């Protein structure tokens, strides 16, 4: 079989993910991949906050356009960057086993955090300058640290850590998965428990997107697809789809699978952390998508729609200032 053409962004993390998929596909199916780097709108934004520029889909649009045009056979993404509803004709064909989905608190080099929640509370006490460009993280952390100042931070991981160590921030909050994949796990000062900061839907999951009906590509990718991770991702994406949210909405969703059961934890938080809706719903693992939808329905019953309306108005105000 001729090599597959694999599209990816050019960041260090994206390239790590692309090579991980390519190696696994070749090892399991014997099919090689040719990696093609595609520069996305998100890559061209530089330091602009995502909420002001249109959200995280900016990191996948050009890859999806290339798939639809037939110039690549598959695209590798951080699944949390993908829209809850994919463009017509595209689908997620495979996911790799999930890395740690939690958010990580990262302090300047040389500073440590005491074990447990008390250590996290101490690190977030006072008026710390916390670097994060995530509306979801800001909203949830505002509940833990009401007087914190949240400052946007963009750039690749090395750039972010350099800014932290240079004194631009008192702490960063980043995905533990990205730190570990880039051999920076030692920089994790503390992992934020899911109970305190629910991860982004799909966080820690590498997803492979393809054209529907491409049997050649589907056959190769079937050899690497992880069933439990796929079910967890389906449940978490169902939460977002049912809520009508997007990448830049304050929505957290995390699904864990134990045996033949799946439990979905969801949260929607006001942008300033002043109020929240939370739900936890369980069901059969093979009904992952339905369980995620039921979790979203529970959130709506607890006022999530009003909170999301508030978040959309706040985002519209920010976007209006850019026009």
* Active site amino acids: 81
Tokens at 239, concatenated: 């939460």
> What is the rounded end-to-end Cα distance, in angstroms, of the chain?
50
**Three-class DSSP category at 130:** strand
- Nearest-angstrom CA–CA distance, 250 and 312: 10
The DSSP element (H or E) to which 6 belongs, if any, is strand 4-8
Strand 261-269's sheet: what is its strand order? 251-258, 261-269, 276-284
CA atoms within 13 A on the CB side of 300: 13
Residue 14 neighbours by CB distance under 10 Å: 24
DSSP string, 296-323: HHHHHHTTHHHHHHHHHHHHHHHHHHH-
- Burial (0-12, 13-18, 19+ Cβ within 10 Å), 176: buried
- Report which of 198, 10, 216, 180 is spatially closest to residue 100, judged by C-alpha positions: 180
Alpha helices in the chain (DSSP H): 12-29, 41-44, 50-53, 61-69, 116-123, 135-144, 157-165, 176-181, 215-221, 227-243, 288-301, 304-322
Nearest C-alpha neighbor of 204 from the set 183, 228, 180 = 180
């Amino acid at each position: 079989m001729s090599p597959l053409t694999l599209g990816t962004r050019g960041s260090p993390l994206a390239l790590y993910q692309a090579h991980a998929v390519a190696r696994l596909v070749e090892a399991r199916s014997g099919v090689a991949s040719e990696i093609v780097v595609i520069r996305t709108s998100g890559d061209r934004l530089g330091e602009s906050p995502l909420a002001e520029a249109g959200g995280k889909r900016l990191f996948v649009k050009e890859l999806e356009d290339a798939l639809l045009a037939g110039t690549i056979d598959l695209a590798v993404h951080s699944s949390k960057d993908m829209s809850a509803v994919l463009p017509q004709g595209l689908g997620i064909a495979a996911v790799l086993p999930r890395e740690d989905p939690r958010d990580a608190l990262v302090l300047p080099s040389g500073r440590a955090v005491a074990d447990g929640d008390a250590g996290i509370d101490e690190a977030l006490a006072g008026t710390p300058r916390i670097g994060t460009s995530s509306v979801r993280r800001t909203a949830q952390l505002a509940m833990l640290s009401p007087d914190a100042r949240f400052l946007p931070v963009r750039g690749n991981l090395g750039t972010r850590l350099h800014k932290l160590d240079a004194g631009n921030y008192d702490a960063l909050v980043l995905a533990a998965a990205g730190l570990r994949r880039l051999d920076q796990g030692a920089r994790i000062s503390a992992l934020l428990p899911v109970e305190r900061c629910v991860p982004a839907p799909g966080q820690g999951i590498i997803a492979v997107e393809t054209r529907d009906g491409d049997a050649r590509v589907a056959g190769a990718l079937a050899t690497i697809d992880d069933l439990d991770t796929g079910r967890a991702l389906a449940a978490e994406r169902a939460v977002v789809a049912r809520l009508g949210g997007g990448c830049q909405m304050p929505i957290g969703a995390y699904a864990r699978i134990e045996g033949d059961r799946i439990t979905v934890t969801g949260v929607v938080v006001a942008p300033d952390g002043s109020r929240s809706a939370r739900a936890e719903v369980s069901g059969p693992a093979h009904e992952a998508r339905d369980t995620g939808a039921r979790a979203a329905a529970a959130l709506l019953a607890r006022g999530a729609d009003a909170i999301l309306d508030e978040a959309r108005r706040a985002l519209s105000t920010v976007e209006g200032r850019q026009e």
